[in-house]
Structure 1
């Protein structure tokens, strides 16, 4: 794991000129076809919200609504299902196999659901601070759940040790030296979401987004988004700006970008439980460092307000899913907003896509947050 060097504290906002020129290899073919063949697959909605476009001073604004994906209230099933498919394709048929992972909630439930559908066992390690309702949802999928009296990083370490036996495999959505193939497959699985957005924008008469806003935990989902938009040939559609959003209490990617190297940060309590991660994925880091145009950190209050506003507009979004709207607002308001708008390349004609990665059903904190704000 990266250590935390003695650098200055990270700011709440960081812009990185030149990211739109960075290029990487694309995701492999066949991922979306695999998902399309799964029972219950359908593209999730891309909902246009004109009132938020007007508030933000842009031409059009869309929210990718992942409140229902393959029977679960978050996008994580895309990565878990593809990774487990690849794992089983490389193992001899038959014999017991336990899928092991650590989670802040949604990934663990997706692994547990995938295991249950395939008749496999699952063992999920959950760090301190995850809501009991999220833990219960994982257990309801038939998984063995071990609660760890420590951080997400500590839960990952426990899961890795538990998966060392011959009849177990670690299905973790963060990578480090020596553990990269399976996290890479999880990232590949997320590419289906981005491919759906391409089709949905085209159907709406939009050639492509000008800005995509993505919530970040360890950065694996952001890696998939960077891969999708930074693997396109030049010349081609203008590359969009990519903005990452994290909780102020766990802004490990923002800190790492500010320092120029991966660093670990202490984490605190946050209702954005799925983003409460202290160390960037080593596999994701080159993509985040190369391809993100900007990063911003937001508070729980920012996220709660965004979730309530999305709910009023008909979009179910938990605290993590609402973080992109909170991040967009943080970027476009307050002192220095004009400079931040320029850094993101936004004007009155821009198209913005917010990636709402979970619905309220994925995060029991969501209802409490809304109630607190209304009080």
Structure 2
């Protein structure tokens, strides 16, 4: 096993483990994709080819999965929340409930939207640092919003306490001991995004990706990405890169330590990634199947978002973190070694997961039956 950590001057905070490409796991259930296809207004989100970025990065082709408009919302989160709520409400003798969650923005809005579509109430806890516009968007879905003065982890604790009331259910996208089933369903829901990428790359005549870059908060989306690519022989050589804010790099710290550790978070424009503790179920999957992790600055993410906007792509700071991370990994001091460790050459295909747009999609919701 060859592992390396770099954080010296001129190089990004970085961890790499090429042996991860040999790890295998079971795939997500096939019925998840079928469920999403049955939803009113569902359509695959675009996979956009960006030749200028391929030239900049010195690779064959670059594609960006654009999650700026997914089922009427400006982020991918509704994929996981919709599948989890579907399974929760399918339970025998399940009556009307209040859906409860904590959020840095997009997950809470997705849960609030689903509550409204199903005729249910929603209670959403929001930590400090979330933009007022994001809070207002959650409230506009009809949810009761509680502001928490502490970090994301405190908001999760408050949501868990609130979900102890009668006729409430917690819909949280991070797992801890004793709370793993619903987060597992949410991770399964994210698999639709990866399945779409496979089909879209094939339609574009592109090879399997040499590198997929995914932004990381608590690690649930990254868990879904690792599960997808490590469960298929066709993507055995695909390297998977996690990207975090430097001020909230709990995955990078955990990989470096070799054990899950929490970090104290600071302020960051990447509010949706501002998490100091990994999901309990995500950590073992990421430890085994993730090739590399890199941390980026707010300036890196802001520049990436502006550059994507110039290319006609709506991407918020969290979504643009994928591009910022690939730039950090493939450029600057030590770039040649990092490319070699990732197995990338001049003909490689790179996929960026842009997980959110910059503004809400204006389309009105259609009730789910």
Aligning the two structures, in what range does the TM-score lie when normalised by the shorter sequence?
Answer: over 0.9
Matched with 1:131 is 131
**CA contact 1:207–1:237 (8 Å) conserved in 2:** no
Matched with 1:344 is 342
Listed as ranges, the matches of 1:164-183 within 5 Å are 164-183=164-183
* Aligned structure 1 segments of 4 or more residues deviating by more than 6 angstroms: 8-11
Q: Deviations over 1:52-71 (max 9, x none)?
A: 00100000000000000000
**Structure 2 CA distance, aligned partners of 1:104 and 1:362?**
15
1:209–1:120 Cα change, 3 Å? same
Q: Deviations over 1:192-220 (max 9, x none)?
A: 00000000000011231110000000000
Matched with 1:184 is 184
**Structure 2 CA distance, aligned partners of 1:294 and 1:105?**
26
Matched with 1:248 is 246
**Structure 2 CA distance, aligned partners of 1:206 and 1:102?**
39
Matched with 2:49 is 48
1:362–1:103 Cα change, 3 Å? farther
**Structure 1 CA distance, aligned partners of 2:334 and 2:351?**
22
**CA contact 2:229–2:236 (8 Å) conserved in 1:** no
**3-state SS of 1:90 partner:** coil
**CA contact 1:106–1:362 (8 Å) conserved in 2:** no
**Structure 1 CA distance, aligned partners of 2:236 and 2:350?**
14
**Structure 2 CA distance, aligned partners of 1:99 and 1:192?**
23
Q: Deviations over 1:123-147 (max 9, x none)?
A: 0000011011000000000001000
**Structure 1 CA distance, aligned partners of 2:250 and 2:7?**
11
Matched with 2:101 is 101
- Residue segments in structure 2 that go unaligned for 5+ positions in a row: 1-5, 362-369
TM-score, scaled to structure 1: 0.92
1:237–1:100 Cα change, 3 Å? closer
Structure 1 residue 9, shift from structure 2 partner = 9.1
Matched with 1:3 is none
**3-state SS of 2:242 partner:** strand
Of 287, 290, 293, the residue aligned with 1:292 is: 290
Matched with 2:266 is 268
**Structure 2 CA distance, aligned partners of 1:295 and 1:237?**
19
**3-state SS of 1:360 partner:** coil
- Residue segments in structure 1 that go unaligned for 5+ positions in a row: 1-7, 364-375
Structure 1 residue 332, shift from structure 2 partner = 1.4
Does residue 36 in structure 1 map to residue 37 in structure 2? yes
Matched with 1:368 is none
TM-score, scaled to structure 2: 0.93
Matched with 1:65 is 66
**CA contact 2:230–2:236 (8 Å) conserved in 1:** no
Matched with 2:327 is 329
Matched with 1:370 is none
Matched with 1:26 is 27
Q: How many residues align?
A: 353
Structure 1 residue 96, shift from structure 2 partner = 2.8
Q: Deviations over 1:55-114 (max 9, x none)?
A: 000000000000000000000000000000000111414x33000000000000000000
RMSD: 1.5
**CA contact 1:127–1:155 (8 Å) conserved in 2:** yes
Matched with 2:364 is none
**Structure 2 CA distance, aligned partners of 1:302 and 1:260?**
27
